[in-house]
Chain A
Amino acid sequence: MFLEIASASVRFGGLWAVKDVSFDVDKGSITAVIGPNGAGKTTLFNVISGFLPPTEGQVRLKGRVISGRPTEDSARIGIARTFQTPEICRDMTVLDNVLVGAHLHIRGGLVAQLLSLPRSAGSERVARSAAREALERTNLWAARDMPAAALPLGKVRLLEIARALMTRPRIVLLDESASGLNSQERMELASLIRQMRQQEITVLLIEHNVQFVMDLADRVVVLNNGKLLSIGAPAEVRANPTVITAYLGRQQA
């Protein structure tokens, strides 16, 4: 099994934000996590991406427990993410925002970098060509020298994805990456996510737009009040009466 969420629970004070959630994710698949606001989707993502330790339960990658580790180890393990409220460096250029994604692939410490030692300078060149590729894939290359603050929300979400790709991830967690995008941008995002699947990158995404999810995801996980309500192929989940009552009903009415 590739990625396993095993009885994961997170408690904030007296509230279980995530309660006893278990499911598996196949390598190179696209899994959508949906559910009403406050269902625990982002909390679950924080656990998988190492931003929160689970109160109970585990997350395992290829059988190895990866939950409860320091947050900064995630990228090394191969887990990259974006944020629901984008976390970018507004004063830095678009290019620099993406380049920092190569942090773990830059060789040599500060002294080696100051002296431009070959291995250090070489890894920076590799990072720059990877950044160009990531920016071209996200249609941001033309904006590379702009300060990130100048980008509209839709582009900022793509910028975060470009940065995540720079870490050379095995798993990418996209937290509402489609929200704030216009329909053109959403189509581009969908094709970008499919490309990621082709490269054997496992994608988990949180999304409110049900049509977007149904068209894209291999599997859909439905959370409600922190609990796993349903899991399955998009069509199965869509047909599930409990899901319709709890969540989808509003869209289908």
Chain B
Amino acid sequence: MSSTQRALLIAFVWLVLPVAFNQSATLNLLVFSDINLIQAIGLSLLFGYAGQISLGQAGFYAIGAYVSSALALRTGLPPIAGMFVGTIVAGAVGYVIGRPVLRLRGYYLAMVTAAFGLIVHAIIVEWEDVTGGYSGLTGIPPINLGVVTIDSPLRMFYFAGTIAIIVFLLALRMVRTPYARAMQTMRESEAAARSVGVNISKLKAEVFALAAGLSGLAGALYAHYIGYISPDSFTIDTSINLLLALVIGGVGSIWGAGIGAVLLSFLPEWLHVLKSAYGIAFGAIVIVLLTIEPGGLVAILVSIQERLLPKAALDAPGKN
């Protein structure tokens, strides 16, 4: 079974899940999984494939959410167009700040991107006229597609799910292109990439813009789904949790991003009984898992599959 066939099969299973889990609580988490998947794939391309860390994805998530919502509320722009604008604005901001910022590496890049997230958070708190400050924006209209309004969890599950699956399939295709080959070379050796003519600063900024745009798209979907946004949804915790989820799922694998996105959405619910100890449990899971298998859950799944079906190893999901 090829990687694409596997992806289509899983996409089909994913889309019939609401039949079995149609209680609103679970359905709600499935919607969040769709939304998180879109951003997790962006971060997977940026961090896992191009090797550039970002602790500021919540900043782009916020830009997508606030641009789309504010346009809908203040100018009456249809949410579907606002979503598009929010995605483009987030991507453009990513490109513009990416050019200078991505000269930094490792810890420094982590700190600067985290600072970017904090700045965006500060701006949405202070710029009350547009963002509503601490009280946020309420009454954000749902997405209207003309024939149907995306005003229920089930409809949003299918709408966001369709976008997520398209992004997922495109990402699976992307990681096999020459473009991704240059990204991976850059991750492992900038000197090698430069020596064959890769324009490092341009490539980094492009991938950063792509990840930023996907976070912006996810943010806009979130805003039009929930109908209410405030600065609390876009803190540095949001950024860190996304990164940790990706690491748990498996960095350097689009499938890992998928697993991470679902866990990011469901874990808080599953660990709900722990109340304030939730953070401890989440942290413990990360530490234990990464000690056992730095490749994350996807690497564990691959090794189980290889043990059960040695021949399937060649098209194992971890390869993409």
Contact = CB atoms under 8 A, between A and B. Distances in A.
A107 to B, nearest CB: 10
A100 B188 contact: no
Given A99-B181, A110-B174, A51 B191 contact: yes
A124 B236 CA distance: 41
Can you list the 8 inter-chain pairs with the closest CB atoms, starting with the nearest?
A75-B197, A89-B188, A87-B192, A113-B177, A87-B189, A104-B197, A106-B178, A71-B194
A167 B197 contact: yes
29 contacts: A74-B197, A75-B196, A75-B197, A76-B197, A87-B191, A89-B188, A90-B188, A91-B252, A92-B185, A96-B181, A97-B185, A99-B181, A100-B178, A100-B182, A100-B193, A101-B196, A103-B182, A103-B196, A104-B196, A106-B178, A109-B179, A110-B174, A110-B177, A110-B179, A110-B206, A113-B177, A113-B178, A114-B177, A127-B178
B170 interface: yes
The winner among B178, B182, B199 for most chain A CB atoms within 10 A is B178
Interface of A: 49, 51, 70-76, 80-81, 83, 87-92, 96-97, 99-104, 106, 109-110, 113-114, 124, 127, 163-164, 166-167
Interface of B: 170, 173-174, 177-179, 181-182, 184-185, 187-189, 191-200, 206, 252
B196 A163 contact: yes
Contacts of B191: 51, 83, 87
A118 B181 CA distance: 19
Given A83-B191, A96-B181, A99-B178, 6 more contacts: A87-B195, A100-B185, A102-B196, A103-B198, A110-B179, A167-B196
Contacts of A87: 189, 191-192, 195
Contacts of A164: 195
Q: Which of A70, A80, A103, A106 has the most CB of B within 10 A?
A: A103
A72 B189 contact: no
B174 A91 contact: no
Contacts of A163: 192, 196
Contact of B184 (A75, A92, A101): A92
Given A99-B178, A102-B178, A113-B177, A92 B197 contact: no
Contacts of B178: 99-100, 102-103, 106, 113, 124, 127
Nearest to B185: A100
Report which residue of A70, A74, A89, A164 has the largest number of chain B beta carbons within 10 angstroms of its beta carbon. A89
Contacts of A114: 170, 173-174, 177
Contacts of B194: 51, 71-72, 74
Nearest to B314: A145
A73 B252 CA distance: 29
A90 B30 CA distance: 37
Contacts of A89: 184-185, 187-189, 192
Contacts of A104: 196-197
A104 B196 CA distance: 7
